[in-house]
A = this chain, B = another copy of it.
Amino acid sequence: MNKEKQNNQMYHSGMLYFDPIYREHSREPVDIPPINAVPAFTMHKNPHEPYKAVRGAKINDDCSVTLTIHEPEAREVYLAGKGYSLLEGPYMMVQNENGYFTVTLSGLHPGFYHIEFIVDGVRKLNPEMPMVFGCSTIVNFFEIPFPDEDYYILKKVPHGTLRFEHIWSDICDRYRGCWVYTPPGYDKHPDKRYPVLYIQHGGGENEAAWIWTARINYIADNYIAEGKMEEMIIVCNTGFAPKEVGEDIFVNESFEDVFIKEILPFIDSNYRTLPDRLHRAMAGLSMGGGQSRFIVHSHPDLFAWLGQFSSGAGFVVKSPDGYYGNPSDFSDLFKTPEHYNSLMKLTFISCGTEDPRHSYTSKQCQELADLGYNVEYHAYPGNHEWEPWRMSLRDFMPKLFK
């Protein structure tokens, strides 16, 4: 089970950029008798000769994790965590006879771990493990599967398509990258139109995070196959809006402007959306959750569904300072619970219970709920890290557009 889940996890990021299985050579000796394989004209090495995949991170049956890195010349190698992962380290690694350093970690909770290898004092990426952009840099990761949950796993169900679009921004004076998920059957039903979920990444991430890290496309594939979720288009856009104003000098333009004036029109004119407020949701984690709340509450004419996961500013109706000097005042939208509830179909707020944002966000939400505002608060185990965010998806997506 773990083996299958681990393979599953590797597939996605591996296929999206670097699949260790395709590596030309096994560095470890392979002591396996020849197998009667189909002659493969195209193999880079003898096709009849099996090879051992190099796997930098391996989840064992007892849910411990064995990490290896090929460093035949190194004197000292250890493993460190990033973010909230593995803060108890460093974990010293031991060199084996094949030039690999290795360590096995036990007792970790299931979930997603950003890690880095320190090789003779130098941070190093391990090319035999998957990588993501996270923690404001490029970083290796591994995942320990949740024993009782598989909603986020690549399964043999109909799959949607991930599409990468180039969206020109007049505001930023550059092209911006954008990932769009279309549900299974999108191309087969050219007359059908779909609701849209716009989902934003956190401060140290980019537009690929909800796909590569959270696997939102697999969650959607699985839920759609099980009839648990409405078919929808999912749009993952970068939350920054850099414009070059001098040689390598950038300022950030207003993401709200880029989003409302450029992204929304692009999606509505290039995809078969249902282009009205009742069929448009926006959600995000941390910085992206704050963006979503700000934009949805500023534009109730455009959105009726909101998700805000672990956002630093909590959940506020009115703030003289707001974020970064932008005052926020949604008093008019909140003037009565009836008014708010008539416009907002869902306001889904969540946070990890170990996240310092939990206490004040939950308090603000409870105050609103006590007054009759239809604001849901969900608490999940974890800190400011991926487990609460994926669990938020798990519970948020089935509620949308119903």
**What B residues does A159 contact at CB under 8 A?**
165-166
Do residues A256 and B41 form an inter-chain contact, with CB atoms below 8 A?
Answer: yes
Of the residues B15, B51, B203, B245, contact of A176 by C-beta under 8 Å: B15
Known: A41-B255, A291-B41. A245 touches B50 (CB 8 A): yes
A209 shortest CB reach to chain B, Å = 11
1/0 per residue, CB under 8 A from B, across A291-313: the answer is 10010000000000000000000
Copies of this chain present: 2
For chain A residues 167-226, which have a beta carbon within 8 Å of chain B? 168, 174-177, 187, 190, 203-204, 206, 208
Distance from A328 Cβ to chain B, minimum over Cβ atoms (Å): 8
Q: Say yes or no: A154 contacts B133, CB within 8 Å.
A: no
Complex Cα distance, B325 from A71, in Å, reads: 35
Interface: A74 (CB within 8 A) = yes
Complex Cα spacing A187 to B191, Å: 11
Contact status A11-B174, CB under 8 Å: yes
Contacts of A119 in B (CB 8 A): 122
Nearest residue, chain B, Cβ from A23: B136
Q: Mark A237-258, 1 if CB is under 8 A from B, else 0.
A: 0111110111111111111110
A203 to B40 alpha-carbon distance, docked (Å) = 14
**Docked CA distance A122–B123 (Å):** 10
CB distance from A162 to the nearest CB of B (A): 4
Using known A-B contacts A240-B44, A248-B52, determine if residue A122 contacts B125 with beta carbons closer than 8 Å. Answer: no
Q: Do B162 and A39 touch across chains, with their CB atoms under 8 A apart?
A: no
Q: Which of B131, B136, B168, B324 contacts A43, CB < 8 Å?
A: B324
What's the Cα separation between A48 and B251 when bound, in Å? 7
- B125 to A50, Cβ gap below 8 A? no
Beta-carbon contact of B256 and A37 below 8 Å? no
Contact flags (1/0) for A102-131 with B, using CB distance below 8 Å? 000000000000000001111011010001
Given A164-B161, A164-B164, A40-B71 contact (CB < 8 Å): no
Given A122-B122, A246-B32, A40 and B161 contact (CB-CB distance below 8 Å) = no
Of residues 86 through 112 on chain A, the ones whose CB sits less than 8 Å from some CB of chain B are none
Give the contacting residue for A291; candidates B38, B42, B127, B204; CB below 8 A. Answer: B42
Known: A52-B248, A238-B22, A248-B53. A156 touches B168 (CB 8 A): yes
Q: Does A18 contact B (CB under 8 A)?
A: yes
Interface check A287, CB cutoff 8 A: yes
Expressed in whole angstroms, the Cα–Cα distance for A325 and B14 within the complex equals 30
How far, in whole Å, are A377 and B248 apart by their CA atoms in the complex? 43
- CB under 8 Å from chain B, chain A span 135-168: 136-138, 154, 156, 159, 161-166, 168
Query: Once bound together, how far apart are the Cα atoms of A11 and B40, in whole Å?
Result: 37
Determine if A30 is an interface residue (Cβ-Cβ < 8 Å): yes
Ranked nearest first, the 4 interchain pairs of A and B with the lowest CB-CB distance are: A15-B177, A37-B251, A190-B190, A42-B255
- Additional 11 contacts, C-beta under 8 A, given A16-B177, A37-B245, A161-B163: A15-B176, A40-B324, A42-B239, A44-B240, A47-B251, A47-B325, A50-B246, A55-B248, A120-B121, A161-B164, A163-B164
A-B contact pairs, 21 of them (CB 8 A): A14-B177, A17-B17, A17-B133, A17-B208, A18-B133, A18-B206, A19-B177, A23-B136, A23-B137, A24-B204, A37-B245, A38-B254, A39-B324, A42-B255, A43-B255, A44-B240, A50-B246, A73-B121, A125-B138, A159-B166, A162-B163
